[in-house]
Structure 1
């Protein structure tokens, strides 16, 4: 039997400073979301590729937390609602010097026309 992963695991660090799926595809993101269960960092639903919600659909992990500096809100994809939760393992956001949208050097000049 496969081990069940809780919706929120406070001891799991984020997968990295940005959306690894976008990085692998030479893509870019508007904002970042962190899976509260496994730490996967994905791009938000305003981003072209919407990797955070794709991660939810593929993994069944319903809860994400904003991975933006100064934000600590949670979103539950299953309930389609905001919520609160415990402090997750650090770091709790991408580096302060990383722009949003990002990453630096890959965001097209017409990015506002390309978001959802």
Structure 2
């Protein structure tokens, strides 16, 4: 098993300030997650497309950290639980001024009807 603290020391920078897959497809997200292994930024399981979880399923990269301001928790997709992973190199979140959900120009007025309850 990969140790979360060892992964944190080797974590590459984030790949984007928003979900890479949503940006590429013209979609939108609710919250963001950062892959500890490769830096991929994906959207959360409550977002319409669940790109962070899909990234895990495609790559096996098991650890993500929240990419939201003032959040530092980690998630282990293999054990399906929160883990203590340590501090990642900056930046540890999307820019404070970035909208949530985002990007603002793509978020439908009825966005709440598209998300799942946590």
Same fold (TM over 0.5): yes
Is there any run of 5+ residues in structure 1 with no aligned partner, and where? none
SS at match of 1:105: helix
SS at match of 2:52: helix
Question: When the two structures are superposed, what TM-score results if normalisation uses the length of structure 1?
Answer: 0.91
**RMSD of aligned residue pairs (Cα, Å):** 1.4
1:9 CA drift (Å): 4.2
1:1-52 deviations in Å (ceiling 9; x for gaps) = xxxx976243410101000100010000000000011110000000111000
Q: Which residue of 2 aligns with 1:33?
A: 33
Q: Which residue of 2 aligns with 1:110?
A: 110
1:84 CA drift (Å): 1.2
Asked if 2 retains the 8 angstrom alpha-carbon contact of 1:10 and 1:36, the reply is no
Q: Could you say which structure has the higher helix fraction?
A: 2
Query: Within 1, Cα distance between the matches of 2:43 and 2:13?
Result: 17
Q: Which residue of 1 aligns with 2:65?
A: 65
Aligned length: 112
Question: When the two structures are superposed, what TM-score results if normalisation uses the length of structure 2?
Answer: 0.90
